[in-house]
Every structure is written in C-alpha cells, then in structure tokens.
C-alpha cells in the first residue's frame, strides 16, 4: 500500500484548493482537450449533456460537484486533480500535464 499524506489540514487547503470558481471549469476543458475529444464526444462518454459542457467551458455556468464526479468516474486517473487541482502521482492521481510529460518521455 502506498502511504498518502494527510491533506486534510486547513493550512493545506488554504493553499491548494481552487482559489476561484472557474478553475474546475478550466480543468474540465483542459482534460477534454488533452484527450483530443470534441465536446459532444466527451459529454457523451461521461454521460453528460454537451450544451452544459459548453456553458461550463465558457464559464457561463459553474461545474456542479456531480458533474466533476461523473467525469472523475469516467477518467479516474484525473479525479483528484479535477476536484482540487492536486496530484499524487505515486497513487496514480495525475493531471493532463503529467500525462503529457509521460507521453513525451516514452517518445524520447
């Protein structure tokens, strides 16, 4: 079992949780673009409505928790990052940036 640090302290959250409500929206868009999926394909794969995804990506609507949860269930490797912006690579919780680095290292 991989030991995971206690991330529950209030000082940790003060610095690492999203500072504005649009950061989760931006992470959803970043994930979709990294996966090279259209909005329609991404929404369908996660069981969501594409018009709502468009609103979220354009910051006209805040991503509700259930939406982030649905995306996290479809792509669990990114679940922690989607909800908090944090990663724990040793526990398999990564971001699109980390995945891009991994892919580039495989090519090298």
Rounded-to-integer distance, Cα 95 and Cα 88, Å = 9
Higher pLDDT, 8 or 81: 81
Query: Quick one: pLDDT at residue 11?
Result: 41
Question: What integer is the mean pLDDT of 71-97?
Answer: 95
Question: What backbone torsions phi and psi does residue 54 show, to the nearest 5 degrees?
Answer: -60, -45
CATH class of 21-107: mainly alpha
Query: Quick one: pLDDT at residue 19?
Result: 53
Helices 39-46 and 65-74, axial angle in degrees (round to 10)? 90
Question: What integer is the mean pLDDT of 10-18?
Answer: 44
Indicate the DSSP class of residue 35.
T
Question: Where in the chain are the domains?
Answer: 21-107
Query: Quick one: pLDDT at residue 21?
Result: 72
State pLDDT tens for residues 93-108. 999 999 999 999 998 7
Across all residues in the chain, what is the average pLDDT?
85
Query: Quick one: pLDDT at residue 33?
Result: 97
Q: What is the pTM of this model?
A: 0.79
Query: Quick one: pLDDT at residue 9?
Result: 41
């Amino acid at each position: 079992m991989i030991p995971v640090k206690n991330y529950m302290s209030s000082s940790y959250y003060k610095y690492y949780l999203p500072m504005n409500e649009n950061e989760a929206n931006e992470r959803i868009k970043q994930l979709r673009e990294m996966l090279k999926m259209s909005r329609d394909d991404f929404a369908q794969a996660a069981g969501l409505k594409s018009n709502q995804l468009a609103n979220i990506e354009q910051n006209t609507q805040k991503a509700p928790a259930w939406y982030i949860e649905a995306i996290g269930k479809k792509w669990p490797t990114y679940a922690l990052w989607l909800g908090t912006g944090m990663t724990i690579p040793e526990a398999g919780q990564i971001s699109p940036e980390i995945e891009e680095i991994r892919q580039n290292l495989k090519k090298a």
